């Protein structure tokens, strides 16, 4: 019984983060309270404060965990995809999967509330976007070198355009409850970036 109780206790922070992440991705950071999380877990808000002393600490933990998972997904794309075009398609797929799950990018939702977030959370949101831009820049640089990708301006500028386009496409598709809007935007984005295969 002691071991079982310890295992349950050890799993509580992860379950808190799971619920809070879903609520942020659907309602936004300011759209849920500790009481909402406590009700789903059937525990007291005091128990939540034991694991995360305040909502800012919970928010930081959410971003850190999300960034680690997203970074691992990018690492997986690097390992699985030989081509820059393949990596870029895979990157779009990460956003598509979030939308099909009825959610938004966690940091995209937080960016919409940026000026109401605690300072530490604002820094973490910007770091997430910076890391995505850096990864995209490296993919674009590779694609320019092997002529599989085409874009005007610098790789950094193109990376920022891709990130902004996908985050914006998610927001618009969610507003209209129409995944087709995301698919259309993503298809056009990729078509403009991926160079046609050379003719035989």
60 domain-assigned: yes
In this prediction, residue 3 has a pLDDT band, given cuts at 50, 70 and 90, of very low
10 Å CB burial of residue 119 (0-12, 13-18, 19+) is: exposed
Neighbours of 92 (CB within 10 A): 20
* pLDDT above 60 (res 7): no
Domain containing 189: what range?
55-193
Rounded to whole angstroms, what are the CA distances from 135 to 128, 144, 160, 176? 11, 14, 11, 30
132 domain-assigned: yes
Least confident of 7-16, 52-61, 118-127, 134-143: 7-16
Q: What percent of the chain has pLDDT over 90?
A: 89
12 domain-assigned: no
Among residues 94, 80, 196, 79, the alpha carbon closest in space to that of 149 is found at 196
**Beta-carbon-side half-sphere exposure of residue 187 (alpha carbons within 13 Å):** 6
State whether residue 154 is helix, strand or coil: coil
- Could you tell me the sign of the dihedral formed by the alpha carbons of 116, 120, 123, 125, in that order? negative
89 domain-assigned: yes
CATH of the domain at 62: 1.10.357.10
The structural domain count of the chain equals 1
Q: Mind listing the pLDDT tens digit for each residue in 64-119?
A: 999 999 999 999 999 999 999 999 999 999 999 999 999 999 999 999 999 999 98
């Amino acid at each position: 019984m002691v071991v079982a109780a310890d295992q349950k206790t050890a799993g509580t922070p992860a379950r808190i983060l799971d619920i809070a992440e879903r609520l942020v991705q659907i309602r936004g950071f300011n759209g849920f309270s500790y009481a909402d999380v406590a009700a789903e877990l059937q525990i007291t808000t005091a128990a939540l404060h034991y694991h995360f002393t305040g909502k800012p600490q919970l928010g930081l933990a959410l971003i850190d965990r999300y960034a680690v998972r997203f970074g691992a997904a990018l690492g997986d794309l690097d390992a699985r995809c030989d081509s820059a075009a393949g990596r870029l398609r895979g990157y779009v797929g990460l956003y598509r999967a979030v939308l099909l799950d009825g959610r938004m990018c966690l940091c995209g939702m937080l960016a919409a509330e940026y000026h109401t977030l605690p300072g530490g959370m604002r820094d973490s949101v910007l770091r997430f976007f910076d890391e995505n831009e850096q990864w995209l820049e490296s993919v674009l640089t590779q694609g320019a070198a092997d002529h599989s990708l085409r874009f005007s301006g610098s790789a950094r500028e193109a990376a920022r355009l891709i990130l902004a386009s996908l985050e914006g496409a998610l927001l618009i598709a969610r507003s209209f409850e129409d995944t087709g809007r995301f698919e259309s935007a993503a298809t056009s984005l990729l078509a403009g970036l991926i160079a046609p295969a050379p003719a035989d």
